[in-house]
Amino acid sequence: MLKVINVVGARPNFMKVAPIVEAMRGRADEFASLVVHTGQHYDAEMSDHFFRDLQLPDPDVYLDVRGGSHAAQTALVMQRFEPIVLAEKPDWVVVVGDVNSTLACALVCAKLGVPVAHVEAGLRSRDRTMPEEINRILTDQISDLLLTPSVDADENLRREGIAPERIRFVGNVMIDSLRANLERAARSDVRERTGVANADYAVVTLHRPSNVDDPIVLRGILSALEHIAARLPIVFPVHPRTRATLETMRAKEAENSVALSQIIFIEPLGYLDFLRLYSGARLVLTDSGGIQEETTWLGIPCLTLRENTERPVTIELGTNVLVGTSAEAITREAFAALELPPASGQRPQIPLWDGRAAPRVLDALLEASKF
Ligand code: UD1
């Protein structure tokens, strides 16, 4: 029997951990699983709704860390996670993705000599100004078992000198969640609530600091969205980080921000509502990592508003196009994508994005425990 602590911290973690926890509960003779939530994300829309939608059990331990600078947040997660590991003495700690909580918990384990497995290992944007890139590189260096979503990730790790026996290609756990929840999501009325049912529409998400923290950069992106919104409605669930900048801008632009009324700004959505929304979209514009993968799996055109991606397979085999952040390029590429016939429902085939990555994570943990 393996005792495993599964760590979640921020929104993009929940849909990666849910299928792993579910698989462990289904193999209770082999795994005793605990969920520790660091509390990096704490708003109901950023956290609680995801537990409910993904049928994740309530966390066994909640560290209530919340915001702060990267240093403060990372340090507080470490400080609060260490006593949990000392008390629980797990055989493995599983961390996912690339958020501050991922690195903080992996570092605690490395120092205590507790085995740590990193799910979604090996992704690289090669852009060290991205906080997530630092988190990925460091987490991979100190984790014992590196579970990768795509073959490019294996290559990245080998190039960084990581021993091949620490690497296992297991596929994409996020796609496990997507496949498992498509049917339940169909019951969401989010398209009706936002007024886009039976229409062509686009969906936008933005939260990357480089896009949303500087009002001038965000203004540029919004001006592209205004052009696109003149052609089809855009639904924009707004991340708290983006909302903060928008509020400052709104205060300044109150008198002349007319065109923005064309964009449907809403609160961040839960997992099922958001899945329902983007799965019906004509076009998605995003700076998220996970959404590049989800749209690829569904065959929905995605424009990524960044200069690079750590998920090249979504470009090589999927529907993703990197467009950068200039208003001109975003507008041009969006109109070009809208000229193409709508997605045919044909789904790109990405190796091991088959809905069975979580059982492979469990198998890899068992196998690695033999030595
Ligand atoms: C974090 C992750 C990022 C991930 C994103 C998804 C890191 C380095 N970044 O970025 O990889 O794609 O989550 O959302 O870990 N806030 C709230 N309520 C919340 C959560 C955050 O108001 O529930 C506020 C915070 O107080 C802060 C801001 O939003 O002011 C940013 O939160 P933070 O957790 O620092 O990073 P994200 O930008 O969300």
Tens digits of per-residue pLDDT, 2-19?
A: 999 999 999 999 999 999
Q: 285 forms bridges with which residues in the sheet?
A: 204, 303
Q: What percent of the chain has pLDDT over 90?
A: 92
- Can you tell me which residue has the tokens 């796609």? 175
Name which of 54, 62, 63 is nearest 22 in CA terms: 54
- Is the domain spanning 2-172+353-368 CATH 3.40.50.2000? The answer is yes
Domain borders along the chain are 2-172+353-368, 184-338
- Residue-wise pLDDT tens digits, 55-113: 999 999 999 999 899 999 999 999 999 999 999 999 999 999 999 999 999 999 999 99
Q: Is 45 in the pocket of ligand 1 (CB under 6 A)?
A: no
Query: Exposure pattern of 146-183 as b/e (b: 16+ CB <10 Å)?
Result: bbbbbebbbebbeeeebeeebbbbbbbbbbbbbebbee
Q: What angle do CA 341, 268, 283 make, to 5 degrees?
A: 10
- Topology match between the domains 2-172+353-368 and 184-338: yes
Q: How far is the CA of 239 from the centre of ligand 1 (A)?
A: 8
Active site residues: 207
Q: Is 99 in the pocket of ligand 1 (CB under 6 A)?
A: yes
At residue 258, the pLDDT reads: 44
Ligand 1: which atom is nearest the Cα of residue 207?
38
Q: How far is the CA of 238 from the centre of ligand 1 (A)?
A: 12
Burial class of residue 120, CB neighbours in 10 A (0-12, 13-18, 19+): buried
At residue 344, the pLDDT reads: 74
- Between CA 106 and CA 94 the distance in angstroms is 8
- Those residues whose C-beta lies under 8 Å from the C-beta of residue 165, and which sit 6 or more positions away, are none
Q: Is the dihedral of CA 306, 311, 317, 319 positive or negative?
A: negative
Q: Is 80 in the pocket of ligand 1 (CB under 6 A)?
A: no
**Residue 197 one-letter amino acid:** A
Residue nearest to atom 3 of ligand 1 (CA): 99
Confidence of residue 330 (pLDDT cuts 50, 70, 90): very high
- Residue-wise pLDDT tens digits, 225-243: 999 999 999 999 999 999 9
- pLDDT of 345 over the 90 cut: no
CATH class held by domain 184-338: alpha beta
DSSP per position, 112-172: HT--EEEETTT---S-TTSHHHHHHHHHHHH-SEEEESSHHHHHHHHHTT--GGGEEE---
Q: How far is the CA of 89 from the centre of ligand 1 (A)?
A: 29
- Residue-wise pLDDT tens digits, 117-151: 999 999 999 999 999 999 999 999 999 999 999 99
At residue 136, the pLDDT reads: 98
- Residue-wise pLDDT tens digits, 247-289: 988 777 755 554 566 799 999 999 999 999 999 999 999 999 9
Name which of 47, 58, 62, 63 is nearest 14 in CA terms: 47
- Can you tell me which residue has the tokens 């983006």? 242
- pLDDT of 371 over the 70 cut: no
- pLDDT of 217 over the 50 cut: yes
SS3 of the chain: helix, strand, coil, percent, to 5: 50, 15, 35
The dihedral region occupied by 17, where left means phi > 0, alpha psi between -120 and 50, and beta the remainder, is alpha
- Residue-wise pLDDT tens digits, 285-325: 999 999 999 999 999 999 999 999 999 999 999 999 999 99
Q: Is the dihedral of CA 64, 69, 72, 75 positive or negative?
A: positive
Name which of 312, 349, 299, 306 is nearest 324 in CA terms: 306
Q: Is 62 in the pocket of ligand 1 (CB under 6 A)?
A: no
Tell me the average pLDDT of the chain: 95
- Residues 85/69, Cβ–Cβ less than 8 Å: no
At residue 262, the pLDDT reads: 75
At residue 341, the pLDDT reads: 79
